[in-house]
């Protein structure tokens, strides 16, 4: 018995990531990134990035 080998490459799904502020799913290629103390944060756009930056400057992150 022969193995069926697909002759067409399987299309790869664009990696979807979730904006940490508004929770919108966006392709990783269009995300705005910010390097945090532990890992890289992802945002749908500069607006959410700015909001995250403002939040991290406050002493009460729960205000986000």
Interface residues toward Zn ion, by CB under 5 A: 19, 21-22, 44, 48
CB of 17 to Zn ion, least distance (A): 11
Q: DSSP secondary-structure letter at 13? A: P
What is the distance between the alpha carbons of residues 63 and 40, in angstroms, rounded to a whole number? Answer: 21
CB of 11 to Zn ion, least distance (A): 27
Decide whether 7 or 45 has the Cβ nearer to Zn ion.
Answer: 45
CB of 7 to Zn ion, least distance (A): 40
């Amino acid at each position: 018995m022969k193995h069926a080998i697909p002759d067409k490459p399987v299309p790869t799904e664009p990696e979807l990531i979730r904006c940490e502020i508004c929770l919108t799913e966006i392709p990783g290629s269009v995300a705005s990134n910010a390097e945090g103390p532990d890992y890289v944060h992802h945002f749908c756009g500069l607006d959410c990035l700015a909001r995250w930056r403002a939040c991290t400057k406050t002493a009460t992150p729960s205000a986000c």
